[in-house]
């Protein structure tokens, strides 16, 4: 039996601008609602962030900011899943605060606000009636160029004929943690979850670990460019 | 809104600054050829350094460091006979192209210039000019990559005869119609803005959706690190750099490129010399005289009341932000998408340079910069479902009829 079970789902390969000034998770939620997505693999980089002391997550950002801490997300790759009004963000990031004395966490707080709107690139899964663990309720679509795959065993060697798709790019998704951890984190309890990108070329690929995969094949030059960026920005 | 530290990082350009390091990796306009008469040295103030163009013993031009007093005003233009060259201080190679003297102030071997239209056009179809803006280079660039502001800042309440539009931005007809551009911008003020990364920077497309399922498509470009290429009229484009003198002053350097008739340089120069003084090319309309603001004109003719030259409108807007825009109090919106994308490119470039990954800078890591051509920059009106193809076809048609080789097929 093939260790790989592949399910094409209705999806899009996209880029978008998420609004700044809201809590990070809220900006993501608004984007997901706007695009009709249930889940998305998202990459972003070079995004300024800010922490304003005493500002509740539901409060608007003040017109004039008199104090706070600034920082920058150098890179971040996350799986965002929307369930009703709730958003979970799971993945890995590399960020820094300019005042390290007060801000040096290893887990990114999703109420952190973006200090500017940010470019995001990703693979988004449209909302549908078909429940898939980790991704929520998506839409099976046999002709889709995006698939969710489950890898039932570790594949540490190059194997052939594991998938009818002859070429695709692949990202491994570990269990939804609802946390964004620093990619340098050595916390064993978190079992350091990294999303590793790979590729299927001529039916061959090399991936490690029991995991779910997102596979994507570009159908246009624009999609190809976006997937190249997702690969290049993998942590 | 950015922290002061993040704002300083993207605005300050003196020696050994992150943004200054990125700008120094690229050829920078230093002077107009018009400024090179027979008298050398010619003073140049660039990227926080006080320099002068000299001719070396071999007759080649060079940009050398000149002696300055500590209290020398920012844009001081000493007379040639008062300039002392410091032979033991840095000097930089220059090249002359399209009416501009470019200088390379970075390390190692200078890169080639890309093969943009402004560099390919013959002298007969090219004209260069410059002007002083008393503000930081980045806010000057950012107004050039914001397609939305034109509908307000450059709003004309009446439409002039497009036949009187020579040398003037936004005064021509839109594409192959009889609709003045001023009318398009006024009546469709909420463009949908699409941004794509390219080999040279960004392609920015502003879509103004009109009646009868038509769309006005305006394609402009950001050429990394601090230039833009935008349509001026049906036959001309503008390629414009926003070159730091220091952190609080910059020059715009513009190459006007004609795809049809030879440029009427005398008229273009005359139009612009009416608005600028020499030798420092400072604008005659400025903060000190409120940009010649006229409330009657504002009530009846223009959004700003500051005359018909859109360059003055931009100057007022960017100088009005202060010497260096305080982005700690800034709120960007969705129409700022090109600015957001540009700042991300700049931050990425600064980080790459600091980490020694120079090939990741735009237009680095490419084996042949001559392959970078164009860019497409025009206005078109097309069926809404076909705007991308229409814009491309319009560009190809203009190139096919161009009297010089503007072919972009590889």
CA distance B2 to chain A (A): 6
**Exposed/middle/buried for residue A66 (C-beta within 10 Å: 0-12, 13-18, 19+):** exposed
> How many other C-beta atoms can be found within 10 angstroms of the C-beta atom of residue B367?
6
Nearest-angstrom CA–CA distance, B173 and B161: 9
Q: What is the pLDDT of residue A235?
A: 67
pLDDT in tens, A127-147: 999 998 888 899 999 999 999
Nearest-angstrom CA–CA distance, B21 and B382: 42
Return the exposure string of B13-25: e unless at least 16 CB atoms fall within 10 Å of the residue's CB, then b. beeebbbbbbbbb
CA distance A116 to chain B (A): 6
Q: For the residues of A154-223, what is the DSSP string, one character each?
A: -EEEEESSS-S-SEEEEEEE----S-EEETT---GGGT-----EEEEETTBEEE-SSEEEEEE--SSHHH
List beta partners, residue A41: A79, A123
Q: Do B347 and A119 touch (CB under 8 A)?
A: no
B1 interfaces chain A, CB cutoff of 8 Å:
yes
Residues 6+ apart with CB under 8 A from B375: B116, B117, B198, B200, B203, B221, B223, B229
Q: Average pLDDT by consecutive 10-residue portion of chain B (410 residues)?
A: 87 96 98 90 95 91 94 86 94 97 96 96 98 98 95 88 66 71 89 95 96 93 98 94 97 98 95 93 96 96 93 97 93 92 97 95 92 94 90 94 90
CB within 8 Å of chain B, chain A residues 138-177 = none
Q: Do B3 and A20 touch (CB under 8 A)?
A: no
Question: Which pLDDT band holds residue A202 (cuts at 50, 70, 90)?
Answer: low
**A156 has a pLDDT exceeding 90:** no
CB-based contact A74:A96 (threshold 8 Å): yes
Q: For the residues of B279-292, what is the DSSP string, one character each?
A: TTTEESS-GGGGGG
- Half-sphere exposure of residue B319: CA atoms within 13 angstroms, side-chain side: 19
Closest alpha carbon to B215 in B59, B356, B387: B387
Q: Do B2 and A70 touch (CB under 8 A)?
A: yes
Tokens of B88: 């033991």
Nearest-angstrom CA–CA distance, A191 and A122: 24
pLDDT in tens, A183-196: 775 543 333 334 45
Q: Report which listed range, A61-75, A210-224, B310-324, B375-389, is most confident.
A: B310-324
Residue numbers in B near A117 (CB within 8 A): 332-334, 336-337, 340
Alpha-carbon Rg for chain B in angstroms: 21
CA distance A150 to chain B (A): 34
Residue numbers in A near B341 (CB within 8 A): 119
Nearest-angstrom CA–CA distance, A103 and A115: 16
| Chain B interface mutation, best of A17, A102, A118, highest count of B Cβ atoms under 10 Å | A17
Locate tokens 């010497």: which residue? B323
Q: Do B3 and A115 touch (CB under 8 A)?
A: yes
Between B186 and A172, the more confident residue is B186
Closest alpha carbon to B181 in B162, B206, B157: B162
CA distance A118 to chain B (A): 7
CB pairs under 8 A between A and B: 62
CB-based contact A65:B328 (threshold 8 Å): yes
> How many other C-beta atoms can be found within 10 angstroms of the C-beta atom of residue B159?
15
Nearest-angstrom CA–CA distance, B205 and B221: 8
CB-based contact A69:A50 (threshold 8 Å): yes
Q: Which member of B5, B331, B341 has the closest CB to residue A21?
A: B331
Closest alpha carbon to B1 in B234, B371, B336, B288: B336
Residue numbers in A near B334 (CB within 8 A): 17, 19, 117
- Per this entry, what is the length of chain A? 235
H or E element in which residue B272 lies: helix B265-273
**How high does pLDDT run on average in chain A?**
82
**A197 has a pLDDT exceeding 70:** no
Closest alpha carbon to B27 in B100, B117, B113: B113
């Amino acid at each position: 039996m093939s260790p790989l079970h592949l399910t094409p789902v209705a999806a899009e390969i996209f880029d978008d601008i998420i609004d700044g000034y809201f809590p990070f998770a809220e900006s993501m939620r608004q984007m997901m609602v706007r695009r009709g997505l249930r889940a998305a693999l998202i990459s972003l980089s070079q995004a300024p962030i800010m922490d304003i002391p005493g500002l509740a997550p539901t409060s608007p950002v003040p017109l004039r900011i008199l104090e706070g801490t600034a920082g920058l997300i150098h890179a971040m790759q996350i799986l965002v899943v929307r369930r009703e009004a709730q958003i979970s963000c799971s993945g890995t990031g590399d960020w820094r605060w300019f005042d390290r004395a007060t801000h040096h966490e290893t887990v990114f707080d999703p109420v952190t606000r973006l200090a500017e709107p940010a470019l995001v690139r990703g693979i988004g899964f449209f909302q549908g009636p078909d429940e898939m663990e980790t991704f929520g309720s998506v839409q099976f679509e046999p002709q889709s160029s995006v698939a969710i795959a489950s890898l039932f065993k570790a594949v540490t060697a190059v194997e052939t004929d594991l998938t009818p798709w002859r070429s695709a790019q692949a990202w491994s998704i570990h269990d939804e943690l609802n946390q964004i951890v620093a990619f340098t984190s050595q916390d064993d309890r978190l079992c350091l979850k990294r999303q590793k990108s790979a590729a299927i070329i001529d039916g061959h690929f090399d991936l490690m670990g029991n995991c779910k995969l997102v596979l994507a094949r570009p159908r246009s030059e624009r999609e190809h460019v976006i997937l190249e960026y997702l690969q290049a920005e993998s942590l | 809104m950015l922290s002061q530290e993040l704002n300083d990082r993207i605005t300050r350009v003196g020696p050994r600054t992150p943004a200054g390091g990125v700008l120094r990796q690229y050829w920078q306009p230093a002077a107009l050829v018009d400024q090179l008469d027979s008298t050398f040295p010619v003073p140049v103030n660039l990227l926080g350094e006080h320099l002068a163009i000299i001719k070396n013993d071999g007759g080649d031009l060079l940009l050398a460091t000149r002696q300055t007093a500590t209290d020398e005003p920012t844009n001081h233009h000493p007379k040639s006979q008062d300039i002392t060259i410091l032979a033991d201080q840095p000097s930089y190679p220059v090249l002359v192209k399209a009416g501009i003297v470019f200088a390379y102030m970075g390390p190692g071997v200078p890169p080639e210039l890309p093969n943009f239209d402004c560099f390919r056009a013959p002298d007969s179809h090219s004209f260069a000019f410059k002007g002083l803006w008393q503000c930081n280079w980045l806010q000057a660039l950012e107004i050039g990559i914001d397609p939305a502001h034109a509908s307000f800042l450059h709003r004309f309440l009446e439409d002039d005869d497009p036949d009187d539009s020579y040398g003037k931005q936004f005064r021509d007809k839109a594409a192959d119609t009889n609709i003045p551009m001023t009318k398009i911008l006024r009546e469709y003020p909420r463009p949908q803005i699409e941004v794509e990364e390219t080999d040279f920077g960004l392609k920015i497309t502003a879509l103004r959706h009109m009646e009868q399922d038509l769309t006005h498509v305006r394609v402009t470009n950001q050429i990394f690190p601090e230039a833009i290429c935008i349509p001026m009229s049906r036959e001309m484009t503008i390629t414009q750099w926003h070159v730091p003198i220091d952190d609080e002053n910059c020059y715009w350097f513009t190459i006007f490129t004609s795809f049809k008739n030879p440029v009427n340089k005398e008229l273009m120069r005359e139009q612009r010399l009416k608005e600028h003084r020499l030798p420092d090319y400072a604008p005659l309309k400025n903060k000190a005289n409120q940009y010649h603001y006229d409330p009657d004109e504002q009530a009846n003719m223009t959004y700003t009341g500051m005359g018909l030259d859109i360059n003055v409108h931009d100057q007022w807007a960017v100088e009005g932000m202060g010497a260096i825009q305080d982005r700690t109090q800034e709120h960007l919106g969705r129409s700022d998408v090109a600015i957001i994308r540009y700042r991300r490119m700049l931050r990425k470039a600064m980080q790459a340079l600091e980490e020694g990954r120079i090939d990741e800078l735009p237009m680095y890591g490419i084996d042949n910069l001559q392959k970078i051509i164009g860019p497409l920059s025009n206005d078109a009106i097309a069926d809404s479902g076909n705007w991308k193809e229409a814009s491309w076809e319009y560009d190809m048609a203009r190139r096919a009829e161009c009297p010089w080789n503007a072919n972009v097929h590889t």
